[in-house]
Amino acid sequence: MRVPTPKNRHNPLTCSDGIRTLILEQGNKVDVTTKRLLKHKRELQMQRASLGRDIDAIDRALTLAGVKLPRDSGAIPTETEYTLHLPFKQMGLKDSCLKVLQDLPDVWFTKTQIEFLLVLGGCEFNTDDAKNSVDVSLRRLADQNLCLVERSRGSEGNRYKHKSREPSRSADEEENSEIEDSGTTNP
């Protein structure tokens, strides 16, 4: 059985009638509560805009310093995910480095950029020189053929990228390559 609802359910806190429309009281004057809510909302929006500008400035400084990847690298969603979920909190350093490389397989990283993402993701280093530990882990991954390395001297040093696995060849492709190698063809 349906309970009838009044047609004009007035909520004084939100100044709405059930259909979410503002109710103007006393002619053109808006309720005091509505004014307070709107004023507080405006203040929060201004704070949000100010925080957004501050975050953008920090991101630009980190990018210029070579710590953070540029916006066009596609790393922004990954950074946000790492910050929210802290995936490296319970992982070892080598596995954490490999996960970063796997999460962004088309990006070349410096050890500083990997360290930045690891810290965002909750990695806790048990050493005074975290950058050196990251570098050692990345070199081990390269030695084990789990990632590509572009060797370079200088301030940035080596760059690392996930080693994409080649798709396995089908039996037909292998047979065709054997035929081409032997120089004969099947009739």
Q: Token pair 């690298």 is at which residue?
A: 73
Q: Considering only CA atoms, which of 51, 53, 105, 57 is closest in space to residue 78?
A: 105
- Give the domain range for residue 83: 74-162
Reduced to 3 states, what is the DSSP secondary structure of residue 11?
A: strand
Query: Is the domain of 97 the same as that of 43?
Result: no
Q: Which residues, other chains included, contact 144 with Cβ-Cβ below 8 Å and sequence gap of 6+? A: none
Sign of the dihedral defined by the CA atoms of residues 118, 123, 124, 125, in that order? negative
**Alpha carbon distance 113, 115 (integer Å):** 5
Say how far apart CA 187 and CA 184 lie, in whole Å.
9
Assess whether 106 and 150 both reside in one domain.
yes
* Pair (143, 96) in one structural domain: yes
pLDDT confidence of residue 161:
92
Indicate if 54 and 118 belong to the same structural domain.
Answer: no
Give the per-residue pLDDT at 157.
83
| The pLDDT of residue 69 | 76
Counting the structural domains of the chain, the total is: 2
Matching residue, tokens 């020189």: 129
Q: Which residues pair with 2 in a beta bridge?
A: none
How much is the pLDDT for 166? 54
Q: Which stretches of the chain drop beneath a pLDDT of 50?
A: 167-172, 174-175, 177-182, 184-187
96 within a domain of the structure (yes/no): yes
Supply the pLDDT for residue 178.
Answer: 47
Residue/partner pairs of 76-84 with CB below 8 Å, 24 or more apart: 78/103, 78/104, 78/117, 79/117, 79/120, 82/117, 82/120, 82/121, 82/122, 83/120, 83/121
pLDDT value of residue 152: 84
Residues 140 and 125 sit within 8 Å (Cβ to Cβ): no
Q: Check whether residue 42 and residue 79 sit in a common domain.
A: no
Helix (H) or strand (E) holding 50: helix 32-64
Domain assignment present for 146? yes
Q: Name the token pair of 89.
A: 């909190």
